[in-house]
A and B are shown apart, each in its own frame.
Chain A
């Protein structure tokens, strides 16, 4: 595993065997290291995902219809001789669409519709320039994953931008040359997304914003890291020009750099983020710090406006060099 991490940090090769999907699944701990366990583990996870789809994606009338159906079939078995009577769908008062009862399936359904609409809109706006993401079936997969995630994580639900974090995972797994893996890409992506976010989800929790684990403290960690490695640059940024990390690194961190570089470059950076033995959160922090150091000359010459605009539109850059700088900061992220 250590060897795999070391190799992944150097970048997973794009061509040839198409190993990235398997590598990412291993690095995220979705696949166990013992290869003999893969078929069992995958089977278990994929059927669990099917169960989630059943549970969370049917609309209430479909759910009720299924409940009734099973009741009816039981009744049919009991009263097999009473043919001729039309079965009537029994809708209890509680389950009427216009009922305002709290436990009404419809009530929950309407409350959630706002989030569903938001997910829907954002999924449609995910990398509109890449044809893979315009395909209806792929958009449907992203949508289902985000809906299921939002239902299973009621404290976070859906935060705008999650679609961007989801996109690289789904893209890599769906393009797996192994057809059986590609066919199950949606389920695999769901669990890998959950794994990946486990290290980051406090950043998404509004009620943790001011806590020691929320986004603000993550941003100040970056500030401390910069101060430790390049105090001159830190002073120029935060004291002289008052360009605080909140202004530029909020998006770097919450979206795991997906919006700062082109999609392919981002996938290379993710090889390092997922592969680094220090774990994704600390690795991301070092890469962010390296991004600042890499453009330090321009930053030191810039004022507030110039610096914010530079960092909000980060210039195309040599990724190997960036990762090399990030590597040199190893072992220094404050906990």
Chain B
């Protein structure tokens, strides 16, 4: 601690409604732990993760923000100069997807113009209770130039993918701007699904 980290560093902010699993995602990613009883976040917590992308050592500084509306007013300080935003929703709760779209609007107005965005469709282990069609979310992600990943902090799936995708795109962007090239076209939305943790069960006879 305290020493300057080598390579490139980027600032990433996690945004999303309360209890969609932001803290769980980031704790799984950084410390590879998961708890069913994660307490509510009332103050953004700061974590760092080192990774290597295409031979380049990268440090991600991650702000895991609080989800409850009350804490919203304190949000801008965390995303204002962020290089990337990971927007998280809970696949079993369609209100949390609506909240993602609101965050995107706010980011477009307030954050850096070329902020890299990704969406995590979290809690994929609860696919039985799914309330939002993945395809709908993919189309939305495509429309805002974000990538969408299906994740489960509980099962530990999709998480490395979403963070390394963000890191790759950040690195690419930095290279392009260092080379003095025009910024790349916004990427098309892509969907990356890790191993399905749970098969969708056959419809039960319920008439």
Binding site for B on A (CB under 8 A): 118, 121-122, 124-126, 128, 159-161, 164, 204, 206, 209-210, 215, 246-248, 250-251, 254-255, 259, 301-303, 305-306, 308-309, 312
Interface centre among B4, B40, B66, B77 (most CB of A within 10 A): B40
Measured between alpha carbons, how far is A184 from B88 in the docked complex, in Å? 43
Closest 9 CB pairs of A and B: A251-B43, A306-B1, A128-B37, A161-B42, A250-B43, A160-B40, A306-B2, A160-B68, A308-B46
Chain B residues whose CB sits within 8 angstroms of the CB of A215 once the complex forms: 74
Does B190 count as interface, using CB distance less than 8 angstroms?
no
Closest CB in chain B relative to A234 CB, distance in Å: 19
> Contacts A118-B18, A160-B66, A206-B70 hold; do A247 and B46 have CB atoms under 8 A apart?
yes
Residue in B closest to A114 when the chains form the complex, CB atoms = B95
Q: Check A302–B2 contact: CB distance below 8 A.
A: yes
Does B19 count as interface, using CB distance less than 8 angstroms?
yes
Chain A residues whose CB sits within 8 angstroms of the CB of B37 once the complex forms: 124-125, 128
Does B61 count as interface, using CB distance less than 8 angstroms?
yes
Contact with A along B42-81 (1 / 0, CB 8 A): 1111101000000000000100001011111110010000
Majority DSSP secondary structure for residues of B touching A: loop
Does B31 count as interface, using CB distance less than 8 angstroms?
no
Q: Check A303–B73 contact: CB distance below 8 A.
A: no
Does B182 count as interface, using CB distance less than 8 angstroms?
no
Does B39 count as interface, using CB distance less than 8 angstroms?
yes
Binding site for A on B (CB under 8 A): 1-2, 4, 18-19, 37-40, 42-46, 48, 61, 66, 68-74, 77
Closest CB in chain A relative to B10 CB, distance in Å: 13
Chain B residues whose CB sits within 8 angstroms of the CB of A248 once the complex forms: 43
Majority DSSP secondary structure for residues of A touching B: helix
A305 CB contact (under 8 Å) in B1, B39, B68, B70: B1
Measured between alpha carbons, how far is A248 from B45 in the docked complex, in Å? 8
11 CB contacts below 8 A, A to B, read: A118-B18, A121-B19, A128-B37, A160-B68, A247-B46, A254-B43, A255-B42, A302-B2, A305-B1, A309-B1, A312-B45
Measured between alpha carbons, how far is A245 from B73 in the docked complex, in Å? 16
Q: Check A302–B1 contact: CB distance below 8 A.
A: yes
Q: Check B61–A305 contact: CB distance below 8 A.
A: yes
Chain B residues whose CB sits within 8 angstroms of the CB of A121 once the complex forms: 19, 40
Measured between alpha carbons, how far is A109 from B121 in the docked complex, in Å? 30
> Contacts A308-B46, A309-B46 hold; do A161 and B40 have CB atoms under 8 A apart?
yes
